[in-house]
Structure 1
């Protein structure tokens, strides 16, 4: 795929030079966008990623006077929708709202039709989320230290759940085992809703849901939140310690959402989108909406987003290698 993309990009570059313009995606008057823009969300409608995409898309439409149309393309842990953008024309009219799993899938050595590092260009880090170590009230341990001690003593009595094989929850579970020297049974589900339902029912021991998925159940007596992955305690969970406080500073229970464009998209378009998104994220009503979803508004330039993505890919590749992670 990469070789084909290089040939395609090279051909387009030569054509642009021959015609005397290097940013063919721009309209004749130099304005972008000059027609509707498609924003692909590689997850089902109604979730956090979908809500974020629609929020930012509506604000981009207000700022530019052009429609930004959200299209959901779920499947294969986000790979289907992501591939459709990676293979789209690099003209700024097909964008992607990617998320944490984009930096994790390549670490599993699975066969992908795209390379996130080569076929996509980061535009802006839109939001970060906090994951929480949440245990069933049916298990005896009430703190992380008690949980670790119990798992070390009787590993077969404990298991952790995730949204699915290769999901962020799967990676966090493996990272937890590396950090604590424990070994657990992994129980993968097909999404957040069934996982949370079974956690509430006590069908497995604990999980690492994002705060948005855990939010409706925080006051339930059927679960206990043992730790949060934020750099400080959450205002609505003031008695729950952070992982750093508990002695695991490298165990970050955090996810993220980022806008991408196909590689080769003119830098002028990337910069325009990055600037507009940064301004949108500073709007009070946008920040408030993100907070209501358990998210924090992102910031930074496209270059900073690219460096963030690179760091994430290195981090999760290290976890996958050390844990010998595989997808069956």
Structure 2
């Protein structure tokens, strides 16, 4: 009886050992979902759909974009963390993964432990824009008005702890001014209220804001990168427009639930790097202000770790409050 039991257990162990490679070899056998932890209509939504459409063509299966906004990406990200680690649920992650641990006292997940990095997509400089009705037409105007009216000049962000929020916190720390934070559930509703004049300024992703700048509905004050952005001629880096040394750019990346088979992670990484090399994809992203920059899973893991340390220091030094 013992011999039969041992033989059965050995066969089961052998079967389980071979299951992961077989599953990876047959991947993908059905549709893949990319969860976007923001509402539809923002820059992340465009990015997921562009990458998703290209990925679908390469893997021969549909790729569905699933918008799950709210909680400054916590809701959508937690959904992915708790999804099966089989490669069929992916996350369009952002630098919020590195920022949120410094903003929230309790996190429903640990990005470094509960997610499997796949690859970076690129850097996302932000554009500081103002509603003309605010009377703010330049960086000096913003600083002067904020100094004269502490806590009165309002800035929108796409969530507490988002890259936009921390970019503004760093701005306040560097300029010694106090602004009023108005958080939203995504960039689209934040931009809508900025255009309506309900808030004064916003650190926005470039793509959604640029058409409104070109139409005169918004004024561009500066970009958060250390160098000018190719698609925004005449718009200086904030560091060159009155705040020396200022730099705060976010990023986007693909991730999966922790435990996703290494072969599947590597497969998606190869496809992602090939997609980012496609001229049409690169051109579309550059036009929207992205700096296209792929990476390996290991490089993305290192980026998340280093940015987590960086933003922790920013939060501590700026005195940003937990929401």
2:97 aligned with 1:102, yes or no?
yes
Q: CA contact under 8 A between 1:201 and 1:222: conserved in structure 2?
A: no
Runs of 4 or more consecutive aligned structure 1 residues displaced over 4 Å after TM superposition = 14-17, 20-23, 247-250
Alignment of 1:62-77 (within 5 A): 62-77=57-72
What residue in structure 1 maps to residue 3 of structure 2? none
1:316 maps to: 311
Runs of 5+ consecutive residues of structure 2 not aligned to the other structure:
1-8
- The separation in 1 between residues aligned to 2:46 and 2:102, in whole angstroms, is 27
CA distance in 2, matches of 1:234, 1:242: 8
When residues 241 and 197 of structure 1 are mapped into structure 2, their CA distance, relative to the original with a 3 A threshold, is same
Contact 1:25 1:92 survives alignment (8 Å):
no
3-state secondary structure, aligned to 1:259: strand
Say whether 1:208 aligns with 2:209. no
Whether the aligned pair in 1 keeps the contact of 2:100 and 2:161 (CA below 8 Å) is yes
1:259 and 2:257 are equivalent in the alignment = no
1:228-307 to structure 2, matched below 5 A, reads 228-246=223-241, 248=243, 250-307=245-302
State the partner residue of 2:155: 160
> Which range moved further: 63-72 or 92-101?
63-72
Q: Cα–Cα, structure 1 residues 238 and 45, in superposed 2: closer, same or farther, change >3 Å? A: closer
Deviations 1:8-65 (A, max 9, x none): xxxxxx9999236657344369343244333222222343223322322232232222
Deviations along 1:234-267, one digit per CA (max 9) or x if unpaired, are 3343222112334656533422211001112222
Residue 235 to residue 296, structure 1, CA distance change in 2 (3 Å): closer
Distance in 1 (alpha carbons) for counterparts of 2:20 and 2:174: 47
Runs of 5+ unmatched residues, structure 1: 1-13
For these two proteins, the number of residue pairs brought into alignment is 315
Within the candidate set 68, 74, 82, 1:79 is matched to 74
Note the aligned Cα RMSD (angstroms): 2.9
Counterpart-to-counterpart distance in 1, 2:49 and 2:164: 25
- Quote how far apart the aligned CAs of 1:86 are: 0.9
Given candidates 78, 90, 93, the residue that maps to 2:88 is: 93
Equivalences for residues 3-152 of structure 1 within 5 A = 18-19=13-14, 22=17, 24-27=19-22, 30-140=25-135, 142-152=137-147
Distance 1:116 1:180, change over 3 A: same
The alignment status of 1:218 with 2:219, answered yes or no, reads no
CA distance in 1, matches of 2:310, 2:146: 25
- The question of whether the paired residues in 2 share the 8 Å contact of 1:132 and 1:210 is answered with yes
**Structure 2 residue matching 1:30: 3-state secondary structure:** helix
Q: TM-score, normalised by structure 2?
A: 0.85
Task: Give CA deviations for 1:262-282 in whole Å, capped at 9, x if unaligned.
Answer: 112222221121111101110
SS of the residue corresponding to residue 239 of structure 2 reads coil
C-alpha contact 1:132 1:253 (8 A) present in aligned 2: no
Per-residue deviation at 1:120?
0.3
Shift of the 283–138 alpha-carbon distance from structure 1 to 2, 3 Å rule, reads same
TM-score, normalization by structure 1: 0.84
